């Protein structure tokens, strides 16, 4: 049987890893796929630049569209990134009747709906396991392994940079800015770290997972994102004293009112397995009605870890290449005509509990004022931790854990607390999840 010919767009970190892993494990991969897989063409930005893989037997070009238009290539592997040129190339590949494998989470989160519709029309597949959590096969797990379940919620540490920063802040008592600088020096964070530390990267991935979990269209524009740049060393310390750890989580939850889709710093009990995922590692916790909680852990980035997911997608496509398009695994787990219009809830309607840190003057009656305001908004206090001021009459931090409340009530309470003359700074608020 003739080999399946692959064209790779981009031989950077993931592209080179894909060539290396495929070459090293070719016998096993061929045995699993049932047909030979051959990378015949690759597009690179600079033909004079050395790659981290052998390109023997691969025809190199700096014209990516020429690879996409090559009639001999059956599968295009897009590893360029971004939503500009990559969108044009993937769209053209689909129009040419080629299957597509991509590690591009932004492309899928922002343009997946139209790309999947076009792929369905052309009878081809877009595979994107590598777009979420690197080498962790979370897409396949939810789309196929948990197909019997009604998924109730999922929560994930899905950005290694943010997790590395929070881990260092906790373990070595370092400040955010200090650890961020180290993350940039180590190559974990870009020169502009906004996508990582402000939750945009995680929101791309969460959008994809939520669509697969709940059978809804991709809706990145409705995802709530909040970064970790305001997390202070004292918050990390107080969380530990109260038996919690702070993680930058992506959370998707199905409720009677709609779907929660949010990325933000979250305090979780320190005994939860996911609370102990440290450094640059990723983990996703999925709650199904039949199976209960399942945890998926591993490398969320890196050359060969991500290449593992890319090649797994290639194998799936090769296995299905002779299958009737109507009988292939749907892109978003549900058949296109079965996707629901369940609304995405605004963050103001989310119900959760909270950690609050209030910096107040050391005066009688201050705590009574704060608890009165919380009570008026129907907010019950679970625990209070009050520190001694460094000097008599100075500023004292008051830390409170609340029971569950709708966020708009907490917003109103915080506005009133910050208006008190005795409160000297913005109230620090961190949402809490038990993940039980």
Question: What CATH number does residue 149 fall under?
Answer: 3.30.360.10
Regarding whether 117 and 57 lie in a shared domain, the answer is yes
Bridge partners, 355 (sequence order): 401, 430
Regarding whether 79 and 19 lie in a shared domain, the answer is yes
Count of domains observed in the chain = 3
Residue 343 lies in a domain: no
pLDDT of residue 34: 86
pLDDT of residue 189: 86
Question: What CATH number does residue 39 fall under?
Answer: 3.40.50.720
pLDDT of residue 422: 92
pLDDT of residue 273: 94
The SS3 assignment for 368 reads: helix
Regarding whether 88 and 28 lie in a shared domain, the answer is yes
Regarding whether 310 and 368 lie in a shared domain, the answer is no
Regarding whether 332 and 313 lie in a shared domain, the answer is yes
- Residues 251, 264: Cα–Cα separation, whole Å: 8
> Which residue from 330, 362, 410, 433 is spatially nearest to 120, judged by alpha carbons?
330
Regarding whether 131 and 41 lie in a shared domain, the answer is yes
Long-range contacts of 383-389 (CB under 8 A, 24+ apart): 383/242, 385/238, 385/241, 385/242, 389/362
Regarding whether 356 and 325 lie in a shared domain, the answer is no
**Catalytic residue, candidates 105, 205, 253, 254:** 205
Residue 180 lies in a domain: yes
| pLDDT lower than 50: segments of the chain | none
Residue 219 lies in a domain: yes
Residue 325 lies in a domain: yes
Residue 344 lies in a domain: no
Residue 172 catalytic? no
What's the longest Cα–Cα distance across the chain? 84
- The answer to whether 303 and 17 are in contact (CB under 8 A) is yes
Regarding whether 294 and 145 lie in a shared domain, the answer is yes
Bridge partners, 225 (sequence order): 263
- Residues 311, 178: Cα–Cα separation, whole Å: 37
Residue 387 lies in a domain: yes
- Whole-prediction pTM: 0.91
> b vs e for 365-404, b when ≥16 Cβ sit within 10 Å of the residue's Cβ?
ebbebbbebbeebebeeeeeeeeeeeeeeeebbbbbbbee
User: What is the span of the domain harbouring residue 205?
Assistant: 138-299
Question: What CATH number does residue 423 fall under?
Answer: 3.30.70.260
């Amino acid at each position: 049987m003739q080999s399946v010919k692959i064209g790779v767009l981009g031989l950077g970190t993931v592209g080179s890893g894909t060539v290396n892993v495929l070459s090293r494990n070719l016998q096993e991969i061929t045995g699993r796929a049932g047909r030979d897989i051959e990378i015949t063409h690759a597009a690179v930005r600079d033909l004079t630049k050395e790659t981290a893989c052998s390109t023997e037997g691969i025809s190199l070009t700096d014209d990516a569209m020429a690879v996409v238009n090559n009639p001999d290539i059956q599968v295009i592997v897009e590893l360029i990134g971004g939503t500009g040129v990559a969108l044009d190339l993937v769209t053209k590949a689909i129009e040419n009747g080629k299957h597509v494998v991509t590690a591009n989470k932004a492309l899928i989160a922002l343009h997946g709906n139209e790309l999947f519709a076009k792929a369905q029309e052309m009878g081809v597949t877009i595979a994107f396991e590598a777009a979420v959590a690197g080498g962790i096969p979370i897409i396949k797990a939810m789309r196929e392994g948990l197909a019997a379940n009604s998924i109730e919620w999922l929560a994930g540490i899905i950005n290694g940079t943010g997790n590395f920063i929070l881990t260092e802040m906790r373990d070595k008592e370092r400040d955010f800015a200090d650890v961020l600088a180290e993350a940039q020096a180590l190559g974990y964070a870009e020169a502009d770290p906004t996508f990582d530390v402000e939750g945009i990267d995680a929101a791309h991935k969460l959008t994809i997972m939520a669509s697969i979990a709940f059978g809804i269209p991709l809706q990145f524009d409705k995802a709530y994102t909040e970064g970790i740049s305001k997390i202070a060393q004292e918050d990390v310390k107080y969380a530990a004293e109260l038996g919690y750890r702070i993680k930058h989580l992506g959370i998707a939850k199905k409720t009677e009112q709609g779907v929660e889709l949010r990325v933000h710093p979250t305090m979780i009990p320190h005994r939860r397995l996911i609370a102990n995922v440290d450094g640059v590692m990723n983990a996703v916790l999925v709650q199904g009605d039949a199976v209960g909680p399942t945890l998926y852990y591993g490398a969320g980035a890196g050359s060969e870890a991500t290449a593992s997911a890319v090649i797994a997608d290639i194998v799936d496509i090769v296995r299905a290449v002779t299958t009737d398009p109507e009988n292939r695994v749907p892109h978003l787990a549900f058949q296109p005509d079965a996707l629901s219009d369940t609304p995405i809830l605004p963050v103001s309607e989310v119900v959760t509990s909270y950690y609050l840190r209030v910096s107040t003057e050391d005066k009688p009656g201050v705590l009574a004022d704060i608890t009165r305001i919380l009570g008026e908004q129907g907010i019950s206090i679970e625990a209070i931790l009050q520190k001694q001021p460094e000097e008599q009459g100075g500023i004292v931090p008051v830390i409170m854990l609340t029971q569950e409340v709708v966020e708009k009530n907490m917003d109103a309470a915080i506005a009133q607390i910050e208006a008190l003359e005795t409160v000297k700074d913005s109230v620090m608020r961190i949402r809490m999840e038990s993940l039980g």
